Structure 1
Amino acid sequence: MISLIVAFDENRVIGKNNKLPWNIPEDMEKFKKATMGNIIIMGRNTFEGIGRPLPGRINIVITKDESFHYKGVEVFHSVEEALEEALKLGKEVFFIGGESIYRQVADLVDKFYISYIHGKYDGDSYFPEISLSNFQIIKEEIYDDFIYKEYEKNTLAL
């Protein structure tokens, strides 16, 4: 399954200087629980913002920089190449950012995990406008600082 996990604010901000502009432990727990034991794919800037491979997951970094290497991560130079290899492993594949990666993969996704963060934050990267008309909400949880929703692609036969 191809999934995308994201948290964004009321202006669709997802980051500032390759970091999350908020600190919401419950949202981080949602991320950890969903991605643990699975595959995470991210752009190089997102990886550098995290600063290390995330434990308990297969970490894949996409970069155009042919010289980029980092212990504990697999490096690919295109979304297609990374996804092809990731799908061979038989685990859920999560795209975790950033903006450029989200723009490239939004149409490939079977499941969205979205945290709608309350408030407006200063940021320099945004989640693109996407249509969820072909998806249904399968889970919704309300927290003080955000609303968490999972969407799955409709599979009803026409």
Structure 2
Amino acid sequence: MITIIAAAAENNALGKDNQMIWHLPDDFKRFRQLTTGHYIIMGRKTFESLPKLLPNRTHVVITRQKDYSVPDGVLIAGSLEEAIKISPQNESIFIIGGGEIYKQSLPIADTIELTRVQTSPHADAFFPEINPDQWQLTFEEFHPKDEKHAFDFSFLTYKKTS
């Protein structure tokens, strides 16, 4: 199963200057719970934006750079198709970004785990539009802003309809 996991604003903003735009601890917890123990596929810029390797996950980095250097245990792929081929076929695989990788993944993904952040900031990376003819919202959980979260947000789960 291929799952796209992302946090995107109402205007589909993902980030700016290779950084996240918000800090939502509950979103980080959900991300960790869902992805721990699995392969996580990402573009090179997303990989470079991580503060460190995420524990208990196998990182697969998509890059066209032939001599791209990564730490031991990190896998390199030249395309999304190659990244999926080198991931276990009988396990859940998570696509964690960025915008272009999400766009390429939509046609082949089974599930989208989206944190919809109630803001519309300026950004330079965006999540693709979710076509309601192809995706059905199956779960929604609202979280109001509080002392740890500057924005209201909702956890949304979409399943492919076809």
TM-score over 0.5 (shorter chain): yes
Residue 73 of structure 1 corresponds to: 74
> Does the 8 Å contact 2:9/2:120 carry over to 1?
yes
Which structure: greater helix fraction? 1
- The size of the alignment, in residue pairs, is 154
> What is the TM-score when the length of structure 2 is the normalising length?
0.89
- Cα deviation, 1:128-149, whole Å, max 9, x if unaligned, reads 1231323333321110120111
1:84-123 equivalences under 5 Å are 84-88=85-89, 90-123=90-123
Q: What is the aligned partner in structure 1 of residue 42 from structure 2?
A: 42
Q: Which residue of 2 aligns with 1:26?
A: 26
CA RMSD in angstroms, aligned pairs only: 1.4
8 Å contact kept, 1:18–1:46:
yes
2:13 matches 1:6:
no
What is the aligned-residue identity percentage?
36
**Mapped partners of 1:94, 1:66: distance in 2:** 24
Secondary structure of the residue aligned to 1:82 is helix
Which segments of 5 or more consecutive residues in structure 1 lack a partner in the other structure? none
1:126–1:95 CA distance, 2 compared to 1 (3 A) = same
**Separation in 2, partners of 1:132, 1:80:** 25
Whether the 8 Å contact between 1:69 and 1:75 is mirrored in structure 2 is: no
- Give how far 1:152 is off: 1.7
AA in 1 matched with 2:128 = P
In structure 2, C-alpha distance between the alignment counterparts of 1:45 and 1:63, rounded to whole Å: 9
Contact preservation (8 Å) 1:140, 1:147 = yes
Q: What is the TM-score of this pair, normalised by structure 1?
A: 0.91
Residue number in structure 2 paired with 1:150: 157
Uncovered stretches (5+) of structure 2, i.e. residues with no partner: 145-151
